[in-house]
Amino acid sequence: MEKKTIQDSISSIDILILLLVLGITFIDTINGFLLKNDLLSISKPYKFIILSLMALKLVLTLKVSKYFILVIICFTSFFTGYFYYFLQNYDITLFVQNFIESTKYFIWPISFIYFRRLYLKSEEKGLKIALQIINISYLVLLFNIFLGLLGLGYKFYQFYNTGLKGFFFSGNEFSLLFILLTWVKAWQIKIQDVKKYYFFILFSLFLAFNIGSKTTILGVLGIFFIIQFSNITVDFGKIQLKKIIFGLIGVLISPLIIMGFVIGNKSYFDDFILKRLEIYNYDLLTWFLSKRNLVARDSLKEFKGLDLMSKYFGQGEISFQQNTHIVELDFVDLMLNHGYVGLFFYCSIILIFLLMLKTRFSQTPLNKCLFYFYLIIILFLSNLSGHIINTGVPGFFIGMIFAITFIPIGALKKTKLI
């Protein structure tokens, strides 16, 4: 009788987690409105509750995943660093802030492990729920973009007064979430109607330019290329000429679309490109990285002056940034905040998850697409815009989406993903 009660409580946790994830984009929109009016933030506690429930669910399983154990080891190395710093100054407020910030690094790995287990257990039922969450969340993003077009909410770049993100407070999170959800929608539409798919990509590019982020624009183009080429096999005797032609056309047309938009939208060209190039003395690398390379150079000088313990285990995100600035190049920030040991264990998580995806690479074109998309999101975008591996809201969707790789082919067919 007791065992049955435990199993029932675990099922209840699953339902609660999925409902909370469903509401997360609504909460972040409300949170942005509250912050704009100098009111209390509700987003961080909400995300922490979801993360805690996911971790609790994984702990309550009869066999704790070895991947979850690796996450715990990595978190312990992070904790060691800011606990060591706490013993030097006994600032409990700073210690709590470091703890909260460090948990953001583990949102997507824990979500990945959680949804992988959920999909393996429930197959198409769990996937159908996840796709409904994604569809509703995408509509919330479109609503925020619409508000931005009406002049409401935040500008993506407050300093330049350009771009838009509705009432999402974090521009990087908004950009990443847009890329993630757009990829799922693009894949679904392509399976159903190829003509609608090309229209959707153009529509997404239009939205990306209005958002105004280089990451968003490159992300949408990346979505197109990955989906286009994921159906092409390595065996040249079996390559479909039609797919190659469409792919090459896309490669040729995309720059023309970008040039046409930029030339046709003079204010965008002046604000987004010319003004920034002038500010950065026409240094293309500094413009492309939005001065992150210069911040990294100064922060690395600060890091070299730390004691040996802090170099190996870090001091925590908030502690280190007291004397410098966040770089927004994720792997650089990871080393600066959590030391060599934290960087090693976290890169181990990324590599192991990559190998997990690689084992199912050849099963379906969807799996190939997810593998390449993982490379772009986790390895490329994280070192272009930052706040990818330590993201909040998008972290739950990263786990939800990439765990789809482990769903059986029969379930994927039933949900019309292949």
> Is 55:113 a contact under the CB 8 Å cutoff?
no
The domain tally of the chain equals 1
pLDDT of residue 376: 87
pLDDT number for residue 7:
43
CA 395 to centroid of chain Cα atoms: 5
DSSP conformation class of 406: G
d(CA 18, CA 130): 8
Helices (H), 40-123: 43-60, 66-89, 92-103, 107-122
Name the percent of the chain lying above pLDDT 90. Answer: 49
* Total residues found in the chain within this entry: 418
**In the prediction, which pLDDT does 328 show?**
84
Counting as low any pLDDT under 70, the low residues of the chain are 1-11, 62, 231-288
Q: In the 3-class helix/strand/coil scheme, how is 176-215 assigned residue by residue?
A: HHHHHHHHHHHHHHHHHCHHHHHHHHHHHHHHHHHHCCHH
Could you give the 3-state DSSP secondary structure of residue 155?
Answer: coil
- What tens digit of pLDDT does each residue of 115-125 get? 999 988 887 88
Q: Is the dihedral of CA 260, 261, 267, 273 positive or negative?
A: negative
> What is the residue range of 262's domain?
2-414
Cα separation, 263 vs 261, whole angstroms? 6
